[in-house]
Amino acid sequence: MTVSQTSRPLAGQVALVTGSARRIGRETALLLAQDGAHVVVHARSSKAEIEAVAEEIRAAGGSASAALADITVEGEAQRLVGDILATHGRLDILVNNAAVRGESSFADISFDVWKKIYSVTVDGAFLVTRAAVPSMVKHGYGRIVSIGGVAAHIGVANRAHVATAKAALVGFTKALAVEYGAHGVTANLVVPGKIGGPRSPNSGAGGIFPGGGHPLLGHEGEPRNVAEIIRTLALPAGAFVTGQTIHVSGGLYLP
């Protein structure tokens, strides 16, 4: 990543990317910083990883800090956003990327696992967004991008818990768009599908897709492909887009 000294359309803005230690979250943090935003790199417990991402941004001439928080805990989500506002005075861009994946046949999903996956994906997005929105309304500007999942749209075996949680973000996004559009705040959902690259041990091998789950483009995507769309929604080019579900799946899903 290199940061242009002459073209930083997000200069002066502050972004929080939850779950940004690796993959899509990491790539998104790098791109937003490249465009001039100060990026808060977040994880629940991976301190060394988020510090490394923040240092990578700073080494390239960008601005970043790292923050740990369990966003499923109301007080921690409030502290995370509160610290950003206390330090920077604003939070312009929020990317709700944090999620927990897993694979299990429906009959074998324990209620504890069901609640954990739903809590990180949905409750976490709710708590962080609720803490961030008042500042966005105050400044008359905000960009909220949540990250969905293709399983919620095509159905994937062994992922009922993940599909349900990601489906909830569709309604969440539309409700935010309607309620806050008049305040200059946009809300959109970006839905990755079949994104390759290294995964954490608990993320599963990718689920069982109907019809074999082959993208029309004939190959898996990369985290950067998704991050570029998130970036566009944060840029001036995305200012007139809100309430939308945008699929980045190489044609794996056709709405």
Mean pLDDT to the nearest integer, 207-231: 84
Q: Give the domain ranges of the chain.
A: 14-248
Q: Is the pLDDT of residue 241 over 70?
A: yes
Second CATH level (architecture) for the domain 14-248: 3-Layer(aba) Sandwich (3.40)
> What integer pLDDT is reported at residue 174 of this predicted model?
98
CA distances from residue 30 to 56, 190, 214, 227, 231 in whole angstroms, order as listed = 8, 17, 29, 9, 10
Alpha helices in 16-159 (DSSP H): 23-34, 47-59, 74-88, 111-118, 124-139, 151-154
> What integer pLDDT is reported at residue 210 of this predicted model?
60
What's the CA gap between 232 and 34, in Å, rounded? 13
Phi, psi torsion values for 216, nearest 5 degrees: -60, -25
Higher pLDDT, 53 or 2: 53
Q: Is the pLDDT of residue 204 over 80?
A: no
Amino acid identity, position 180: Y
pTM of model > 0.85: yes
pLDDT single digits (tens) 129-167:
999 999 999 999 999 999 999 999 999 899 999 999 999
Helix (H) or strand (E) holding 146: strand 142-147
> What integer pLDDT is reported at residue 35 of this predicted model?
98
Structure tokens at 246: 């945008």
> What integer pLDDT is reported at residue 1 of this predicted model?
44
